[in-house]
Amino acid sequence: MATLQSKSAASHTSRWFLAMAAGFLLAGVAHGQTKNSCLECHSILTDNLGVTEEKFSQDIHAQKGLTCASCHGGDATSDDPEVAMGKKAGFKGKITRAQIPQLCGSCHSDPAVMRKYNPSLRTDQLSQYHTSIHGKRLATGDTKVAVCVDCHSVHDIRPPNDPRSTVYPLNVPATCSRCHSDAERMKAYKIPTNQFAEYKKSVHHQALTVRGDLSAPTCVTCHGNHGATPPGSSSVAAVCSTCHVFQAQLFDSSPHKSAFASAGLPGCVTCHSNHGIQHPTDAMIGTDDKSVCGQCHTEGDPGFVAANSIREHLAQLAAAIDRSDQILSKAERSGMEVSQARLDLVQTRDTLTKARVTIHSVNVARVQQDIQPGLVAADKNYEAGKDALKERNYRRYGLGLSLIAIALVITGLRMYLKQIESGQDSQTT
Amino acid sequence: MGFFRKLHDWLDDRFGWNELLAPLRKKTVPVHRLSHWYFLGGITLFLFVIQVLTGILLLLYYRPGANEAFESVQYIMTRVKFGWLIRSIHSWSANLMVFTAFAHMFSVAFLKSYRKPRELTWLSGMILLFLVLGFGFSGYLLPWNTLAFFATKVGTEITGQVPIVGRPLMIFLRGGEEVTGATLTRFFGFHVAVLPGLATLLIGLHILLVQRFGISVPPKLEAEWLTKPAALREMKFFPNFALRELMAWYVALGVLGALAAIFPWDLGVKADPFVSAPAGIKPEWYFLFMFQTLKVIPSKVFFMDGEVLGVLAFGVAGAVWLLLPFIDTGRARRWVNALAVVALAYIIGMTIYGHFAK
Amino acid sequence: MEALLGSGLFLSAAAFFYPVLRFLVPPKEADMGSGSVIAAKTGDLKPNSGKIFRFGSRPGLLVRTTDGEYKAMSATCTHLACTVQYRDDTREVWCACHNGKYDVNGRNISGPPPRPLETFEVQVRGDEIFVRRRQES
């Protein structure tokens, strides 16, 4: 292990040296061949015109050898502003918002160009953007909508796997919310601005930030990134089912599928909501106030009966698991080894999870099929707990007997000592 | 004539039993208000025997090795009939033995039983105490659980702080740079072969010396009895004292059984060298006072590393304590008792502090 | 008094020897050693199928590939610890909970799983398939 560590440490440092050497070399070449007069002024300028060398050096494009002129045109070798930013040098000046997608796309949509830098990068961003609500509105002349730089930032664009990037999974929700939580900005579009606030309460946000699960869905997972569009009621289920496969399959096979469709209800989110999606509880099913079934089903219809029945089954298994858990905890507290039973209980819990998935079929018989083995397993766990407690009592019983034997010996010895010592005393006196 | 008498006579005819016991019959134990402390050595011996017996039993199922140790202990605890009892007794008895050994040492120190001609008895006893701590340290790792793994890591790390010899010593103990399966193999070897061999030899020597010089009487009482021989009170070692000792052993056995049955020793979680150490990791209680001291010492004291200073200080203190019989002469005499009180108070205080410190 | 002492000694000896003797009798469930478990018999698995087996305190997945080769790995998904399964239609290891996919070498190839599955060593001895943890170097 030790040698492994030192080896990797060694290779790490040597890689560092290589990277640094390469950096110096590149910098030297860049300085030697192409001088950048842009930064001489723009690094001192403030506000929109200011770009420091430090900032631009963070940009993936700068690191790949692109310069200011690559986007803005002009001649960076000239010290004369008239020449450097002259028409002759092809200077484009500030790129207007309406022009930005086309400009970025001039490279990013060209596989031949992209292959030189990153052959695995997709080249469909621009065409996707044209299909997005942002792209469509931009086409109608609305320049307030998001263009490339609004999400990817500008002059310090980092690749999406860089944790400092604005489009790194952890940063995506905040990036989108910069506009979408701005009530003033969204007023014209008549769309709500509470999505980010809701999302922050959701189980997905929890998974993303607390557990650091980068695969947890952010805004773009459901809405798309370059092709961002509000999903219509038919596409919602398709989005959710990329991860929640079984739930989707069961739902599709259930009578809800056609019922929801004819009522114009958008699948999953009808019960689970969308941005503020919570960890579901058993209380969601049933017919009381907290449940969702009661929103459509009323007393007497078959769905009402089924909802209550499913709820009861889930509660029954949950209670059985709870009972087993309690007796095992009791055994543990008295020092018994029940790791095996604990392990089995985890598997029993899995059957409950499975049943909770099966409820999406809204079929009582199918749910029962999952509950039944769970109940049997929970009973077994309970028996294991009972056995452990029996074993504990057996130990205490054995201990009691041994202590009696020990007490007998001690009293016997005391009496014996008294006897011989009284004899000895009488001898000495 | 009862059954025991008959058995006794039968054995006597074949062994010369009475003759063998003759020196023991002559041996006496002084009786005074502090005589109770004389039982501690015997109880420690009894616990050692328990350790040997349960240790041999555990060896039937235990397998050393990073991949197997934890599982085999788990097997003993769950599958083997009364495995939980044997292992719990082994663990509890180990802890009690450390405690009684310490108590025995301090009782000897306070009663000043190490005085001439018993210096070697003290020395052998001190070495035995170090061996007992070695038993505790090496045995603690054997179940290969997380706590033991990190305690060993920290413990051997501290050994590494000793100037000059520390690092080679640490590498020797660990069987490499890190605590790995190799360390476990080593510790197993120490625990079941090296230490028991040494301990048995030293216990033999220790008991032989006790037999040779008889049982010490505190100096004040000794002087009193010298001037007034009529005040001298003692009891026969055999059977009076021996039977009382036997009673003490039975009490110890009962305590052990109760502890094992009501508080079976925890198994913990299997050690994983690649997870980070759990917060608030602490060694076993008998190392706690040293551990806590090292934690309290600032990282730099003058020009020295705090850890190194602490380790050196303990080395010096240990050496002084080891040589107590040779120091306790002439003018130093007055200070020795105070020293013992301070040492005891320090150990108790630091152990309690260490227990409650975060 | 002698009766008292005698019965006490006898009982305490019994209390001492009974556990020891029971301890000496080897238990029925033989200890295989953690390293190794018998995951299946050679006849159990057709090519292109998989089976869950107990590996220590966790489930393991034994897969027989279309070539007839045996592969073993942890069956605990690295995403949220669901138990994975082998799918003969896609020839992949699949986690039903969030549609995570691994190849038969345990590499995570799609979906949420952040890490590959731990793989185990497989040995066929006679008609028994032994699986054990890879030895650390």
pLDDT > 70: what percent of chain A? 90
CATH number of the domain enclosing A380: 1.20.140.10
Between chains, do A395 and B261 touch, taking CB under 8 Å as contact? yes
From chain B, the residues in CB contact with A410 under 8 A are 247, 250-251
Phi first, then psi, for residue B217 (nearest 5°) are: -115, 140
Q: Which of B3, B75, B80 sits opposite C23 (nearest CB)?
A: B80
Under the banding of pLDDT at 50, 70 and 90, the label for residue A26 is very low
In a domain, C3, yes or no: no
pLDDT at position A234 is 66
What span, in angstroms and rounded, lies between the C-alpha atoms of B312 and B302? Answer: 15
pLDDT at position B317 is 92
Give the chain C residue whose CA is nearest to the CA of B81: C23
pLDDT at position A233 is 64
In a domain, C25, yes or no: no
Between chains, do A405 and C114 touch, taking CB under 8 Å as contact? no
The model's pLDDT over B247-304, given as tens digits with 9 standing for 90+, comes to 999 999 999 999 999 888 888 888 877 777 777 778 889 999 988 888 888 888 778 7
Cβ–Cβ under 8 Å, residues C93 and C78 = no
Between chains, do B57 and C2 touch, taking CB under 8 Å as contact? no
C1 touches chain B (CB under 8 A): no
Write the CB contacts of C27 (distance below 8 Å, at least 6 apart in sequence): B79, B80, B81
pLDDT at position A5 is 43
User: What are the pLDDT tens digits along chain C (137 aa)?
Assistant: 778 888 889 998 998 899 999 989 888 766 555 567 788 888 888 889 998 887 766 788 999 988 888 999 998 888 888 888 898 888 999 887 788 899 989 898 888 888 899 999 888 888 888 888 876 54
What span, in angstroms and rounded, lies between the C-alpha atoms of A408 and A231? Answer: 83
pLDDT at position A11 is 47
Between chains, do C2 and B85 touch, taking CB under 8 Å as contact? no
> Which CATH number, 3.40.50.920, 3.40.50.150, 1.20.810.10, 1.10.10.10, labels domain B26-356?
1.20.810.10
Total domain count, chain A: 1
Phi first, then psi, for residue B51 (nearest 5°) are: -60, -45
Provide mean pLDDT across the span A313-318. 94
In a domain, C112, yes or no: yes
Separation in Å, CA B345 to CA A8, B100, B242, B292:
49, 17, 32, 14
Q: Is the pLDDT of residue A24 over 70?
A: no
CA A270 from chain centre, in angstroms, equals 22
Mean pLDDT (10-residue bins), chain B, 358 residues: 81 80 80 89 96 96 88 87 93 96 93 89 95 95 92 89 89 91 94 96 94 86 87 84 92 94 86 76 88 86 82 90 86 81 93 88
In a domain, C28, yes or no: no
Distance between B275 CA and the closest CA of chain C, angstroms: 15
In terms of residue numbers, what domain contains A348? 302-428
In a domain, C17, yes or no: no
Between chains, do C15 and A405 touch, taking CB under 8 Å as contact? yes
Cβ–Cβ under 8 Å, residues B38 and C104 = no
- ipTM rounded to 2 decimals: 0.83
In a domain, A419, yes or no: yes
Under the banding of pLDDT at 50, 70 and 90, the label for residue A308 is very high
C131 closest CA partner among C64, C75, C53, C66: C53
Cβ–Cβ under 8 Å, residues A371 and A317 = yes
A20 touches chain B (CB under 8 A): no
Total domain count, chain C: 1
A340 touches chain B (CB under 8 A): yes
C114 touches chain A (CB under 8 A): yes
Under the banding of pLDDT at 50, 70 and 90, the label for residue A249 is confident
What is the total residue count of chain A?
A: 429
Neighbouring chains of C at 3+ CB pairs within 8 Å?
A, B
In a domain, C26, yes or no: no
In a domain, A128, yes or no: no
> Domain-by-domain residue ranges, chain B?
26-356
In a domain, A163, yes or no: no
Q: In terms of pLDDT, which residue wins out, A396 or C35? A: A396
Distance between C1 CA and the closest CA of chain A, angstroms: 6
What span, in angstroms and rounded, lies between the C-alpha atoms of B19 and B7? Answer: 16
